[in-house]
Amino acid sequence: MSETLVCLLEEPSAREMLKGILPEVLGSENEVKYIVFEGKQDLEKNIERKLKYWNVPQSSFLVMRDQDSGDCKRIKDLLLEKVQRSGKASKTLVRTACKELESFYLGDLQAVEAGMQINGLSRQQENRKFRTPDQLASPSKELDTLTTGMYQKIDGSRKIAPHLKLDGSNRSISFKNLISGIQKLVS
């Protein structure tokens, strides 16, 4: 029997990123539903209720939001507490993008080069700041600078995500944790 993965997300760009990678991660057996909130406050306010009243059998859940300037552990603990209260903790994965979703892209500049059609970007992967993109203060600003203003959150996610390598070579640890977590959740 196929399973449904329900993705509860902070923003539309996260949906576009997941649409680009989930077919390869999940295969064709699983259905995916996306619930996109209007920012992190909306997500945090409504997640417990959405999970609690989701009654489709064979469903697993992915909750994902950006860390931004917050404390990663506190954010995750807050989300886990809400998931626990919903009664769906055993089938829910909570992941935080450190600091922003764009760190996933900066961890694989070859994907950015291919998706945005900008030659030569992948050569910069060995630059110090791109070796550990989760530590950048503002990955979205870095990506905007790197692409000379061509990157736009939703369209850029749509273009880059299908090119992201899922083999563990991405330099973003939070991206690697997302992929391995999804694989465990649906296995």
Please state the rounded mean pLDDT for residues 97-108.
95
Q: How confident is the model at residue 20 (pLDDT cuts 50, 70, 90)?
A: very high
pTM for the structure as a whole: 0.94
Q: How far is CA 59 from CA 10, 51, 55, 116, in A?
A: 20, 10, 8, 34
Helices (H), 6-152: 12-26, 40-52, 72-86, 102-106, 109-116, 128-131, 139-146
| pLDDT tens track for 106-163 | 999 999 999 999 999 999 999 999 999 999 999 999 999 999 999 999 999 999 999 9
Q: Which CATH number fits domain 4-99+172-186: 1.20.58, 3.30.310, 2.40.50, 3.40.50?
A: 3.40.50
Binned at pLDDT 50, 70 and 90, residue 179 comes out as very high
Mean pLDDT of 49-58: 95
- State residue 138's pLDDT score: 95
For the chain, residues classed under CATH 3.40.50 are 4-99+172-186
Mean pLDDT of 74-90: 95
Mean pLDDT of the chain: 95
